[in-house]
Structure 1
Amino acid sequence: MPLVPVSQLLAAAEEGKYAVGAFNCNNMEIVQAIVAAAEAERAPVIIQASQGAIKYAGLEYIVALARLAGETASVPVALHLDHGTSFAQCIQCIRSGFTSVMIDGSKYPLEENIALTNRVLEVARAVGVSVEAELGKIGGTEDDIHVDERDAFFTDPAEAKQFVDATKVDALAVAIGTAHGQYKGRPELDFDRLAKIRQLVNIPIVLHGSSGVPEEDIQKAITLGVRKVNIDTNLREAFVDGVKEAIEKNPREIDPRKILGPAKLKMSEVIREKIRIFGSNGKA
């Protein structure tokens, strides 16, 4: 089937009280691992590409891989821009075939973030593309974006209401204690803040930096309105572990298929586990 908008998947997730997994891709093997896992679990899935992935693989390659994945899969697949930081980049991705974009104006004052988000929404709405925005700053590093711990700040519930009322955005990424990259210890999530945000805004909430968050915390966040959960670091770890194991087993191996094949299987196993944690298995 053709790629679907993320808003369509999140509306079903809202009704069913589960979350849809959004998995970052950088190459063909990762796209194949994501779709194989979603097929095996009969789950809807979001393939997402960051600025770093687009720079590495090329926009046309990312779109072609995701489009083929959607057309050949028997489960719903969406293609989402993760952490788009400019109007121009969002429009370029919309024109290229993304069915969803994130405009991350969290570094700007509230009014500027609202204005930028509304510019993207105006174009996206006209062509049926869904839009995610961010309020508050999520710490850590993801590709080209680095937010120092001292610069990270949590989402203010009152501002979240003001932002959503002013934009009518499809989904809102919030900062409640998660971070991009690998955690040094156990993250402490502010569930009271999440509950307050959800009481004030009646739209799907997005949890970024979820790779190192304990299973029970993810599931508690889902009961409080999180409908999209982003996973990147865990896939990178599985990919590298698979490659290392293949080379350690046969240091003289020169066939890329025999090195990348195990990595692809390891990623699929991780994705299947995440899908079950999110409760989206069997929901396709």
Structure 2
Amino acid sequence: MEKTAAIVNIAHAANVTLEAELGYIPAEDTGQAVSEHQLTRPEEAKEFVEKTDCDALAIAVGTIHGNYIGEPKIYHNRLKEIAKVVSVPLVLHGGSGNTEKDLVLAIKEGIAKININTEISNAAVKELESIFKKGFSGHFSLLSEAIKEPMIGVIQEKMKLFLCGKAVKY
């Protein structure tokens, strides 16, 4: 908590906002699912925000960074409990791979930002696989150009799903 508060002070002195992460959000390479006892606790989140003065808080509510091995599970009750006691926008790391229904519900329950890097990356990799299957032998710049459209497609789809008009609230 002290390190985060110190970093927040540095960021704020430079007029930069800071998003902190609290709780256990594993990476796909651990092969671990998240159990309920590893989730961010509401009282812990409240104290963390008050003591660090962070501008947004990524919370552990069952998601993971990367591709899911099993079925994703968002602990919606925990999310709602945290949203009741925390005064900053809440962030969901590990949004990729969750159902649209779960993500829309998470937004309604208090999530203001959802990270979907894995889904964007997966779209790029899929396009690259297709290109290489056809026998690509050109310059790298052609590849980076070719993967833009699939990535933009994912982003546009998620912006609609995530009700981006809500951003004005913050």
Secondary structure of 1:158's aligned partner: helix
- State the 1:169 CA deviation: 1.2
Instruction: Call closer, same or farther: CA 1:150–1:259 in 2, change over 3 Å.
Output: closer
**Deviation readout 1:26-75 (Å, 9 max, x if unpaired):** xxxxxxxxxxxxxxxxxxxxxxxxxxxxxxxxxxxxxxxxxxxxxxxxxx
Which amino acid letter does the alignment assign opposite residue 166 of structure 1? Answer: K
Do structure 1's residue 274 and structure 2's residue 161 form an aligned pair? no
Residue 11 of structure 2 corresponds to 124
Residue 200 of structure 1 corresponds to 85
How many equivalent residue pairs? Answer: 167
**Deviation readout 1:117-146 (Å, 9 max, x if unpaired):** 11011111111000111111102248xxx6
Secondary structure of 1:179's aligned partner: coil
Gaps of 5+ in 1: 1-113
Aligned-pair RMSD on alpha carbons? 2.4
Do structure 1's residue 166 and structure 2's residue 51 form an aligned pair? yes
Which amino acid letter does the alignment assign opposite residue 264 of structure 1? Answer: K
Residue 185 of structure 1 corresponds to 70
Task: Provide the rounded CA distance (Å) in 1 between the counterparts of 2:166 and 2:74.
Answer: 28
Name the structure, 1 or 2, with higher relative contact order (CA <8 Å, separation 6+). 1
Identity among equivalent pairs (%): 36
Q: Report if the CA contact (8 A) 1:205-1:225 is conserved.
A: yes
Deviates more, 1:217-226 or 1:147-156: 147-156
Do structure 1's residue 212 and structure 2's residue 97 form an aligned pair? yes
Q: Report if the CA contact (8 A) 1:176-1:191 is conserved.
A: yes
Secondary structure of 1:228's aligned partner: strand
**Deviation readout 1:165-191 (Å, 9 max, x if unpaired):** 212210011000101111123211111
Instruction: Call closer, same or farther: CA 1:156–1:147 in 2, change over 3 Å.
Output: farther
Q: Report if the CA contact (8 A) 2:31-2:69 is conserved.
A: no
Instruction: Call closer, same or farther: CA 1:191–1:282 in 2, change over 3 Å.
Output: closer
Q: Report if the CA contact (8 A) 1:211-1:233 is conserved.
A: yes
Task: Provide the rounded CA distance (Å) in 1 between the counterparts of 2:65 and 2:18.
Answer: 21
Give 1:138's match in structure 2, choosing from 21, 25, 41. Answer: 25
Give 1:155's match in structure 2, choosing from 10, 30, 40. Answer: 40
Q: Report if the CA contact (8 A) 1:242-1:260 is conserved.
A: no
Instruction: Call closer, same or farther: CA 1:242–1:281 in 2, change over 3 Å.
Output: farther
